[in-house]
Structure 1
Amino acid sequence: MDMTGVESDDQKHVLFGYDGTSENDTALRWAIEEARLRGLDLVVCHCWHWPYPEGHEDPHGEAVMRRAGKNLLERGTRRARELGAAGAVRGRLVRGPARGALLRESRDAELTVVGAPERLDEGAGVLELAARSSRPMVVVKDGAGPRRVVAGADGTSWCDPALGFAAAEAALRRWELRVLYACWEPAAVDADELALFHDRELLEKTRAGELEAAVAPWRARYPELDIRVSLLLERPLEALFGAADDAGLLVLGDRGAGIAPLGSTSTAVLRRARRAVAIVPARPD
């Protein structure tokens, strides 16, 4: 199958959702770089949709819409080459509303990259994609920023997949990794931990131990990686807001993992962050 054809296989790849707009180029550049760093094919996916109710038949109209979708997909694969894609670039044309179709295609991808409008309250579909995906998804607004990956930790094993993704991404890009644990969450802890919030010194010591334990496996796996930890006696949302602008990539874990919507903190950060945000599901695929 040539690079502009329609294909379907089980080979691991980076999936990119292409919408044909010039604003999509920023996210496409990110997807191209992900594919290069990981040594994977880039699959440019475009979704075309027959918007009429079931039973409404118009073979000619349907064929016209499908052909328009194919032409747009071919433009997307060409654009990937123009922007510097060095490896295999393949096109995938799928039928259905973009949100559901892209979600189905993402299940076989190593990770998915999508662009986002500047105001995510105008892009509810992107939020739903990130919430329901069973694989990591990178949402790109602005691909610039410091050469730093920032990952949020919460002291539980739920954050392990997100930390693993962040460490691998930082190692691939040769960026610094900062792991941020904002631990002032008295309303979110079990009753037997409430006493910690009456003794800040004990709280800091306890949470620092949890943070180091969470990061230790990644220090061992990536000994040359510059990993810095930050323990803050702040609420997670406030801390992540503050860190977002200091990151080229912000990595967040999602406990819902395709079952529930994103947590309120992740949703708020994703809406506000100006650069790239990766959402990593907490459960295995």
Structure 2
Amino acid sequence: MNSHVAVGVDGSAEGRAAARWAAQEAVLRRVALRLVHAVDWPLDPLVPGLGPQDVDRWADRALADTAQELHRRHPHLEITTRCPRGRPAAALAAEAADASLLVLGSRGLGGLAGFLIGSVALSTVVATDAPVVLVRVADDPDVVGTRTAAEVVVGVDIREAGDRMLAFAFEEAQRRGCPLRAVHGWKMPPAYAYVPFFDPDNERDIGRSVAHMVDDMVLPWRHKFPDVETTTGVFMGSAGERLVQGSRGAGLLVVGRHRRRSPLGVHLGPVAHAALHHAAAPVAVVAHD
């Protein structure tokens, strides 16, 4: 049974952009779309003089207006709405449990490319095992067109299996009919800082070895998705910086994060952190062991 795409809706410009992007994704996947607004009274919305009934009516109106707009754009798309009560991050994570994808809006950093990740979005990303896509207003289909033909960029780590992340990236590239580029950034082992006479050939040899490992990592997925035009890029330097650079002009950037069950707060690796805050494309975060 095909699952659905869920999207957080809050009446903001970011929420509307996320809803439009999610609707487009649901059409590509040929699944239903679920609009979700979490009611967290008395904190939502922060407007003096509003009672619980006013908040409920406002939430219902936000969902109804969004659904009506998306029905006009995608008349054959099945759209449902949900208005759970509770803290938004927990409610959205719960809604994502039976979804194939959760989409959230995120505020752009003014004139700069990138995201301003709010506490709700960040907490939701680390609270769910479902893939989560962060979308800015600048990624709204009304602003940039469909962009489904733009390449999918995925960050790979040769120290991790990465199967879940690569499967997601290749499936996205296949359904969009676009190229895929797998990117890996590497650094020299720390021990080389203590070598008095460093041979540059060592760096070239390590670079070639890393490139072979990335190719071997991607090879099974090339065979599984032969119609996806696939390239790899291996660079010496920060993986996060390379992914941010690679996101320019991309239709989607895919990064991974480790599942962590620690009660000590939010945990994101440095690569996912850099991508979420500075990427110039929608970012999909895929949890893996």
Q: Give the TM-score taking structure 1 as reference length.
A: 0.83
Correspondence for 2:126: 131
User: In the alignment, is residue 41 of structure 1 matched against residue 44 of structure 2?
Assistant: no
Amino acid at match of 1:24: G
SS of 2:129's equivalent in the other structure is coil
User: In the alignment, is residue 271 of structure 1 matched against residue 277 of structure 2?
Assistant: yes
Work out which of the residue numbers 72, 77, 89 in structure 2 matches 1:82: 72
Contact preservation (8 Å) 1:127, 1:267: no
User: In the alignment, is residue 249 of structure 1 matched against residue 252 of structure 2?
Assistant: yes
Correspondence for 1:24: 15
Q: Cα deviations across residues 215-244 of structure 1 (Å, max 9, x unaligned)? A: 012101111110011111222122112112
Q: Using the TM superposition, give the Cα deviation of residue 85 of structure 1 relative to its aligned residue in structure 2, in angstroms.
A: 5.3
Q: Using the TM superposition, give the Cα deviation of residue 167 of structure 1 relative to its aligned residue in structure 2, in angstroms.
A: 0.5
Work out which of the residue numbers 256, 259, 262 in structure 1 matches 2:268: 262
- Structure 1 stretches of 5 or more lacking a match? 1-9, 53-59, 189-194
- Structure 2 stretches of 5 or more lacking a match? 44-49, 110-114, 192-197
- Distance change >3 Å, CA 215–CA 160, structure 1 → 2: same
Q: Cα deviations across residues 38-63 of structure 1 (Å, max 9, x unaligned)? A: 111000111112227xxxxxxx9333
Determine the C-alpha separation between the residues in 2 that align with 1:91 and 1:197. 59
Q: Cα deviations across residues 79-99 of structure 1 (Å, max 9, x unaligned)? A: 221333532100111111222
Amino acid at match of 2:275: V
- Distance change >3 Å, CA 136–CA 258, structure 1 → 2: farther
Determine the C-alpha separation between the residues in 2 that align with 1:197 and 1:103. 49
User: In the alignment, is residue 62 of structure 1 matched against residue 52 of structure 2?
Assistant: yes
Q: Using the TM superposition, give the Cα deviation of residue 108 of structure 1 relative to its aligned residue in structure 2, in angstroms.
A: 1.1
Determine the C-alpha separation between the residues in 2 that align with 1:36 and 1:121. 28
SS of 2:255's equivalent in the other structure is strand
Amino acid at match of 2:100: E
Determine the C-alpha separation between the residues in 2 that align with 1:280 and 1:116. 17
- Structural mapping, 1:90-109, within 5 Å: 90-109=80-99
Determine the C-alpha separation between the residues in 2 that align with 1:42 and 1:85. 12
Correspondence for 2:62: 72
Determine the C-alpha separation between the residues in 1 that align with 2:250 and 2:172. 13
Determine the C-alpha separation between the residues in 2 that align with 1:108 and 1:169. 19
Correspondence for 1:57: none
Correspondence for 1:55: none
User: In the alignment, is residue 200 of structure 1 matched against residue 191 of structure 2?
Assistant: no
Determine the C-alpha separation between the residues in 2 that align with 1:45 and 1:152. 29
Determine the C-alpha separation between the residues in 2 that align with 1:254 and 1:118. 22
- Distance change >3 Å, CA 122–CA 135, structure 1 → 2: closer
- Distance change >3 Å, CA 215–CA 122, structure 1 → 2: closer
Q: Using the TM superposition, give the Cα deviation of residue 196 of structure 1 relative to its aligned residue in structure 2, in angstroms.
A: 11
Correspondence for 1:13: 4
174-183 or 156-165, which deviates more: 156-165
Correspondence for 2:179: 176
- Distance change >3 Å, CA 131–CA 156, structure 1 → 2: same
Correspondence for 1:192: none
- Distance change >3 Å, CA 27–CA 61, structure 1 → 2: closer
Amino acid at match of 2:167: G
Q: Using the TM superposition, give the Cα deviation of residue 64 of structure 1 relative to its aligned residue in structure 2, in angstroms.
A: 3.4
- Distance change >3 Å, CA 214–CA 66, structure 1 → 2: same
- Distance change >3 Å, CA 81–CA 209, structure 1 → 2: same
Determine the C-alpha separation between the residues in 2 that align with 1:115 and 1:106. 15
Q: Using the TM superposition, give the Cα deviation of residue 158 of structure 1 relative to its aligned residue in structure 2, in angstroms.
A: 3.9
Contact preservation (8 Å) 1:131, 1:258: no
- Distance change >3 Å, CA 23–CA 235, structure 1 → 2: closer
Q: Cα deviations across residues 85-130 of structure 1 (Å, max 9, x unaligned)? A: 5321001111112222111111111001111101344623222222
Contact preservation (8 Å) 1:132, 1:257: no
Once the two structures are aligned, what percentage of the paired residues are identical?
A: 28
SS of 2:167's equivalent in the other structure is helix
